[in-house]
Amino acid sequence: MRGETHGSKSGGIGEGGKALNHDRGQIDRLSEEAPQLSGNTERATDLIPGHDAGRQAHGGDLSAARRAFPYAPEPWLDLSTGVNPYCYPFSPPSAESSTRLPDAAGLAALEAAARTAYGASRDAEIVAAPGTQAIINWLPHLFPARRVGILGFTYFEHFSAWRASGAATSIVNDLDGFGDKDVGVIVNPNNPDGRLIARDDLRGLAEGFRERGKLLIVDEAFADFLEPGVSLAPDLPRSGAIVLRSFGKTFGLPGLRLGFAIAPRDMALKLRAAFGCWPISGAAIAIGAQALADSPWFAAARERLKGDAAALDAILKSAGFELYGGSPLFRLVAAPDAGRRFKALARAGIWVRRFDARPDWLRLAIPGRENDRDRLRRALGVEAPNVVEAM
């Protein structure tokens, strides 16, 4: 799928670069609700007996799915995350990666591979961490702020982390809303709707924050498979922002727990001090360096995902969903009966994401196998195409 950059008031990413238009009134209502909803509330507490209502739910929690729908067929098809269905075929790390402490030279080599993969300049610092979520949790403690603005309905952990630190955290509807904020947070492309802010707009905003002695954080967890020119990373450190990148989503290895911050030196030093001498495991260092340097695998995965996304779009359209947005790793759809369809899919052993704040929305990861697409078609009552697709 070819992503198209849009200004701050545009829609999400569509197949072939087509913008999927949003109802501006709906977005405004979500933004008004968000402070009470901890940002992006992606819970299904009304459908999951025994769920801890004080704990935010994430995708991939199949134990919750099994508790809620104990008679669903196994194995479950998990489409609740935005993870690449193609796991990177890494060579097993040496035994020393587990029997010895992580090596400083190996960590430096991993961060150098990340610098190349993300197009960061030699003047920017790359900080490896045990997943971008760990970085999100640390940021409010390392860069305290009184007023924090988060752009739109988005990944709720940003809102939760800053609010827990005591900051006055609010949702802003557009880039102009950051004017009085000490810290601004933008997820780009956005999760869950794929909204994409143009790099020039991000650069100008970041420089404005820097001139005021403030901080812009850009979470690019889903940016890897977009076309070049989207990321703010090449503009660091002069733009003065912090950019977050996710390894696990891109390479289908979320359990490895690896992510990166790209930042100016002074900010990177604080992050390194927070994570300590051995921020990630020896296995994460070895596998991460191997995967980030494998550009042929990455290019092939990008092409496969384009075809898989188009196939998913066809299924969802045939099932009567409105394609509302997405990214190369997920699709957001809308339907008046989304709650009923969520339950029907779950009873068929297919786990997707729903949103308490938007009961008409569902988010689905991209299935990578034809038998998984067939299973989804059957659950949605969609006929298979006449042409048999090669496995």
Q: How far apart are CA 279 and CA 281, in angstroms?
A: 7
| Burial label, 238 (beta-carbon count in 10 A; 0-12, 13-18, 19+) | middle
- pLDDT tens digits for range 62-88: 999 999 999 999 999 999 999 999 999
List, for residues 132-142, the tens digit of each pLDDT value. 999 999 999 99
Does the structure show a pLDDT above 50 at 48?
Answer: no
Q: What is the pTM of this model?
A: 0.87
Cis peptide before 237 (omega within 30 of 0): yes
DSSP per-residue letters across 80-110: SS---SS---PPPPPTHHHHSPPPHHHHHHH
CB 160 within 8 A of CB 179: no
Query: Residues 58, 64, 68, 71: is their CA dihedral positive or negative?
Result: positive
Q: What is the mean pLDDT of the chain?
A: 87
Distance in angstroms (rounded) separating the CA atoms of residues 125 and 41: 33
All structural domains of the chain, each given as residue ranges with its CATH number in brackets, are: 12-86+296-380 (3.90.1150.10), 96-294 (3.40.640.10)
Q: What is the pLDDT of residues 294-319, one digit of tens each?
A: 999 999 999 999 999 999 999 999 99
- Secondary structure (3-state) at 329: coil
| pLDDT tens digits for range 106-129 | 999 999 999 999 999 999 999 999
Residue 263 φ/ψ, nearest 5 degrees: -155, 160
Tens-place pLDDT, residues 206-235: 999 999 999 999 999 999 999 989 999 999
User: At residue 98, what are phi and psi to the nearest 5 degrees?
Assistant: -105, -30
